[in-house]
Every structure is written in structure tokens, then in C-alpha cells.
Amino acid sequence: MNTRAPAVEARQLIKTYPGDVTALNGMDITVEPGTVFGLLGPNGAGKSTTVKILTTLARPDSGTATVAGHDVLRHPDRVRRAIGVVAQGSGADPVATGRENLRLQGRLFGLKGAPLARRVDELLERFTLAEAAGRQVKGYSGGMRRRLDVALGLVHRPEVLFLDEPTTGLDPEARTAMWEEIGRLAGDEGLTILLTTHYLEEADRLAERIAIVDRGRVVVEGTPDGLKGELRGDAVHLELRAPLGEAGRTLLEGALGALAGVHEVLIDRARVSVRADDGAAAMPRLLGELERAGVSVATATVARPSLDDVYLRYAGRRYAEADPRSGARDDSLVLAGGAR
Ligand SMILES: Nc1ncnc2c1ncn2[C@@H]1O[C@H](COP(=O)(O)OP(=O)(O)O)[C@@H](O)[C@H]1O
Ligand SMILES: [Mg+2]
């Protein structure tokens, strides 16, 4: 039984910005201590705004939040001592060296003398920055900078670490290295990590629990496997050679939805998404129905439901459309059709 208080608890956070922008529209989050929690959502969903409120850098219009047991509005100073923050943009001073950045950060949190020197060396070693410690940060690669950012967030041994899009902008190799690093951090005793990401794969790999955020609130929450497992059957995706008009769409949604073993037909322009009890068995019937309707198919794929399908189910649109930066794609099996 878990009797410890949550490491992060946000209730009904609302935040609007001038110009009638609703950044948060009733955000609810609970993060258990010692776990990695992922806030997954497209660009503009409200992830950074949530992090800013939880790290005391912004105030909500209404709602409440506690971090490490402290109220973010009543005791921001206590919250700040308990947390490490890695913001979406780098916080390091580019003209200082890696070591200087870490020493300065340590002093801000009251470390000095031998304990400070030890902590800085430990972090330089741990984040494989020891060799580059004496060089100015402006000469660092993207991956080195991001590793330094994480090290900076850890200098004072926080209880809760916030990572806002820790791998955005990194090349695939640096991203994989950062994933390994975050995985190791998660094994550290007691450390709670709240990370935000717009990469489906990142949330899937790193987070024990994820909350999918859309338009300023959580649309669904659970473990990655649990969320995928709730979707029955297989995900079938068909790419049409030409987009359908409104009338064709409605007609086809009806026709495909009437097929045995086929549920939840969603057609968006040239993309048809269907869930089927048995994807391989449904495929010939789906293709036959499309042929009868005079619609030609470019590609057809069957896969186990992915987080992309979970997002589609709860947000009502495909992730790649909500977030063109996401690079969302299927790793699914191509069964029919030509090149894209
Ligand atoms: N300082 C600001 N002023 C005005 N609008 C903002 C500001 N910060 C964020 N927004 C808007 O609030 C919404 C949520 O933004 P954000 O929290 O940064 O989303 P995410 O981090 O998920 O991409 C977006 O529509 C964004 O344009
Ligand atoms: Mg953001």
C-alpha cells in the first residue's frame, strides 16, 4: 500500500494569457513519489505552462498545486528548494565553462567548499562532461548542452526533477543517449521525474505513467501499455490516393462501420483509421468495400494499437496533424498498396 503523499498534485489548474488564449483548462495531475511521469501532448497543449506553474515561475488564474508536499502558491521558496528544473530552452551561460556553470548553480543553493567541488566533479563524471569541463559551453554540441542542463538541475539533490522537452532538437544519437541517462536517473533512490514531451516514442519508453494533454487538460491517463491495451483489436490505417469529400466520407464511414468485426471508423481527408477485432481478417473486406465505392487505396497497414491510436481515440484527431513537429509515424506492417 502506498501511503506517501503524491510528489506532485495539481487540481483544476486554469491559466489564460492575454488575447483570450486558454493555456490550461482544468489541468489535473497526480505523480507518485519515485516514479517517472510523462506529460505527452502536441505543441501548444499546455505542457510548459503546467511546468511553469508547478515550478513557481507562473501563477494559475485558479486551481491548486503541491510539489513535494508544499503548496506552490503559499510556499514557493520551499518548492524551489525541493525541485530541479530543466526548462525547454537551455539555462546554461554560454560563455562560462561547464564546471563554472555547475559551481555557480551550486552556490545559488548554498553549497560551497569541498562539498561543492565534490558534487560538481561527480556530476561532470556522471554526465560524461569531465573532459569538456574546462571549455566554454558555447562550443558544446546539442547533446552535451542538454546533459549539462540536466546536471544543473540536479546540483542540490532535488526530490522532484522537471524536464521540459529534454530531447527536442537533439539528433537521434544524442536523443538515445539522453533516454539512457534519464532511465538511469529514474533508478536513483527516491527521485521523482516529471517530463514533458511531444514524442510518442519518448513517452512510451521513459514514463511509467503518462497523461495525454490536449488543449490545456488531460484527456486520458495511465501506463503506456495499459492505455494501448484498452484499445481492443488491431489498428488498421489506409491511405487513399485522393482525399474524400464530406459526402463520400459519411457514406464510407457508414459502409465500413457496418462490416463485421470493424469498429470506430474515422476518416480524415485521405486517411482512414479503423479498429478491427482481427486486422488481417478485416483487411480484404475493407479493401473490397472501398473498391466497390470506387475509392483507390495507396497503402494499407495493420498494427497493434500505438499511443498514436490512443491519442486519436481521446483527442479525436491524429497526433501528426495536431503536432507537425512530432514526426509521428507507424512502425506497422505494410500489407498492400504501393509507395507513399
Ligand atoms: N507567455 C505567453 N503569452 C501568451 N500566450 C502564451 C504564453 N505562453 C504560452 N502561451 C500559449 O499558451 C498555450 C500553451 O502553451 P505551452 O504551455 O507553451 O504549450 P506546450 O508546452 O505544450 O507546447 C499556447 O497556445 C501558447 O501559444
Ligand atoms: Mg513547451
Do 262 and 282 form a contact (C-beta atoms < 8 A)?
Answer: yes
Give the pLDDT mean for 73-92: 94
Q: Whose CA is nearest to atom 10 of ligand 1?
A: 23
Using one digit for the tens of pLDDT, what is the confidence trace for 279-333? 999 999 999 999 999 999 999 999 988 998 899 889 888 888 888 766 544 333 3
Do 160 and 33 lie in one domain? The reply is yes
Is the confidence at residue 197, as pLDDT, over 70? yes
Averaged pLDDT score across all residues of the chain: 91
Instruction: For residue 191, name the pLDDT band (cuts at 50, 70, 90).
Output: very high
Q: Whose CA is nearest to atom 25 of ligand 1?
A: 44
Is the confidence at residue 336, as pLDDT, over 70? no
Residue tagged 532511465 (cell numbers): 183
Q: Whose CA is nearest to atom 7 of ligand 1?
A: 17
Residue 17's pLDDT is 95
Determine how many CB atoms are found less than 10 A away from the CB of residue 282.
Answer: 23
CATH of the domain at 94: 3.40.50.300
Q: Whose CA is nearest to atom 11 of ligand 1?
A: 23
Instruction: For residue 81, name the pLDDT band (cuts at 50, 70, 90).
Output: very high
User: Who contacts 113 (Cβ-Cβ below 8 Å, separation ≥6)?
Assistant: none
Share of the chain above pLDDT 90, in %: 80
Q: Which residue, of 179, 194, 222, is where some domain finishes?
A: 222
35-69 in b/e burial notation, b at 16+ Cβ within 10 A?
A: bbbbbbbbebbbbbbbbbbbbbebebeebebbbbb
Do 331 and 305 form a contact (C-beta atoms < 8 A)?
Answer: no
Residue 329's pLDDT is 43
Between the CA of 216 and the centroid of ligand 1 the distance, in Å, is 10
Between the CA of 263 and the centroid of ligand 1 the distance, in Å, is 36
Residue tagged 514557493 (cell numbers): 76
- Residues in contact with ligand 1 by the CB-under-6-Å rule are 17, 21, 23, 41, 43-49
Determine how many CB atoms are found less than 10 A away from the CB of residue 171.
Answer: 12
Give the mutation target among 27, 39, 47, 49 for probing the ligand 1 site: most ligand atoms within 8 A of CB. Answer: 49
Residue 332's pLDDT is 33
Determine how many CB atoms are found less than 10 A away from the CB of residue 112.
Answer: 10
Do 280 and 174 lie in one domain? The reply is no
Residue 327's pLDDT is 52
| Residue 114, domain member (yes or no) | yes
Give the pLDDT mean for 207-223: 96
Using one digit for the tens of pLDDT, what is the confidence trace for 250-259? 999 999 999 9
Q: Could you give the CA distance from residue 147 to residue 170 in angstroms, rounded to a whole number?
A: 11
Do 205 and 237 lie in one domain? The reply is no
Domain that holds residue 104: 8-222
Tally the domains of the chain: 2
